[in-house]
Amino acid sequence: MSELKLVKKDLDLKPDELVKIENIQALQDEMMSWPEEMKCIPPVKHHFAPGLYAREMFIPAGTLIVGKIHKHAHLNHITYGDICVSTFEGIVRLQGPLTMVSPIGVKRVVYAVTDTLWTTFHVTEETDLEKIEEYVIAEDYSEIASIEDLQKKMEKLL
C-alpha cells in the first residue's frame, strides 16, 4: 500500500497516516463527498445460524473502503484475496485464507489489491439487519468508552 496516496481537495494522506482515527474520519468524510460514480458499494451477503450472524462482503480489486466502528470484538475470515488494512499498529497486508479477531473499537481503512472475500462474524440471536447494526456498530467512540467501562464493572462483579 505504500504506493497508494490519496489526494483530493485538502486531503493529502500517506498510508502510514491512516492509523490515526482523525485521519480515517477525514478520509471517510472526503469519500462521502465523492460523486456517486466514484463510489463502490461492495455486494454483501447475510448469513444466520443460531446465535450467529455473518456478513460476507466481496471487495473488488482496487476498492478503497473505510469501515465502521465495531462495539464488540468479533471474528473475521478472509476466504481469498490480498488486501492492505490499517490497524492500530500500522498498515498490514493480509492474504486469504486467514482468520483473525478484531478488537473492540476497530475502524479500518482497507484497500483490495486483488478481489477479496471478507466475512465478519457477530454473536447475536437477532436476524433483523437494522437491529444488528444498532447492536454491532457504534456511531462514535464515546459509545465504545461506555461499553468498555460497563465491561470492567461487570468483570469486578464476577
CATH of the domain at 115: 2.60.120.10
H runs (alpha helix) in the chain: 21-32, 129-136, 141-157
Query: What's the pLDDT score for residue 121?
Result: 97
29 occurs within a structural domain: no
Query: What's the pLDDT score for residue 32?
Result: 65
Cβ pair 147, 135 in contact under 8 A? no
Cβ pair 15, 113 in contact under 8 A? no
C-alpha 25/C-alpha 19 separation (Å) is 11
Per-residue pLDDT of the chain (158 residues; tens, 9 = 90+): 333 333 333 444 455 555 566 666 666 666 666 666 665 678 899 999 999 999 999 999 988 887 788 899 899 999 999 998 887 677 889 999 999 998 888 878 888 999 999 999 999 999 999 999 999 988 887 777 766 565 565 566 55
Which 3 state secondary structure label does DSSP give 83?
strand
Distance, first Cα to last Cα, the chain: 44
For 125-143, b/e burial (b = at least 16 CB within 10 A) is ebeeeeebeeebbbeeeee
Q: Which three cell numbers stand for residue 68?
A: 465502521
Query: What's the pLDDT score for residue 86?
Result: 82
C-alpha 112/C-alpha 85 separation (Å) is 9
C-alpha 25/C-alpha 106 separation (Å) is 13
Q: Largest Cα–Cα distance in the chain?
A: 52
Count structural domains, the chain. 1
30 occurs within a structural domain: no
128 occurs within a structural domain: yes
Identify the domain containing residue 76 by its residue range. 42-157
11 occurs within a structural domain: no
8 occurs within a structural domain: no
Cβ pair 114, 96 in contact under 8 A? no
pTM above 0.75, yes or no: no
